[in-house]
Amino acid sequence: MIYLNDDIAHFDLEQALPLLSEQRREQCLKFRHEQGRKTCAAAYLLLRQALREEYGLLEAPLFDYGEHGKPVLRQWPRIHFNLSHCKEAAICVVSDKPVGVDIESIHRYSESLARYVMNDAEMETILHADNPAFEFTKLWTRKEAVVKLSGHGISNDMKPVLTRFAGEIQTVVTDHYVYSITF
């Protein structure tokens, strides 16, 4: 199930902080800017909502982390989830199987960055797109969702990520952000 909060401008951080586990509160407060704190807290509250609505679980979840930093639910390791956030939104996906999600704001397009992380076919798609920034962001979220699914995280060579992946990817594009989910 997908849970999304794209009204971060109206998110009340002070009201949210007591609802976070101490572990997550500490993590959120490490962000330098309030925007990062808000989106970090919002993602966690989406997870709490998902666990309550999908599984009837009311306890605040605690995380353990895999070898490459992928979080797992300490109390319920068989429930799979993934979180992501950007300036405008926070997203949480829960599933009975491994899942990866990434959400990114649409930023100014950088061809040098694109050439560093995209393969030749992806670069052609970006260069011929009506809006290269949207196309780059779409492809990037797909790549990051795939590496978050595997739990390996971002590596130095992101170019082959999508060509090696045989699973399902769902991508949603809005005017301000893009998100992709992999199962």
Q: What pTM does this model have? A: 0.94
CA dist 6 and 85 (Å) reads 10
Q: Tens-digit pLDDT profile for the chain (183 aa)? A: 999 999 999 999 999 999 999 999 999 999 999 999 999 999 999 999 999 999 999 999 999 998 888 999 999 999 999 999 999 999 999 999 999 999 999 988 999 999 999 999 999 999 999 999 999 999 999 999 999 998 887 777 899 999 999 999 999 999 999 999 998
